[in-house]
Amino acid sequence: MDVQIFGVKNNADVRKAERFFKERRIKIHFMDFKQRSPSKGELRRFFQKFGEEELVDRSSKRFQALGLSAAYYSDDRWLEIACEEPLILRQPLVRRGKDLTVGHAEAVWREWLD
């Protein structure tokens, strides 16, 4: 079982997710938002499951810096913005096959292992 983790290394919840899977000897593929933006298809899966309300982190520094606090866009427009500026997303985004989670979701990850 391989797990993909999307986020930035200096985020506390991303580090917790990495540690959780490493302690259980599960292979991790980490994608750093600062080095490379996720593909539109990859993000679309998360937007379809969770929607803009759960994915976009309105308290993030990047969200505030872009002045998006008064923005009301469709999920498709948020998807385009997130592809260009992935630091506005809640982290980590974790994927195992077709299973997806957003944020620190240790209870869900434990269920994946059972």
Tell me the pLDDT tens digit for each residue of 6-45.
999 999 999 999 999 999 999 999 999 999 988 999 999 9
Range of the domain at 86: 2-113
Type of residue at 69: S
65 Cβ contact partners less than 8 Å away, ≥ 6 residues apart: none
Six token digits for residue 75: 């999920």
Domain count for the chain, please give it: 1
pLDDT computed for residue 72 by the predictor: 79
Backbone angles phi, psi at 107, to 5 degrees: -60, -40
CATH number reported for the structural domain that contains residue 105 in this entry: 3.40.30.10
What single-letter DSSP state applies at residue 103? S
Which residue is it, tokens 């750093």? 32
Residue 88 in this model has a pLDDT that exceeds 80: yes
Which candidate, 94, 93, 91, places its Cα nearest to that of 26?
Answer: 94
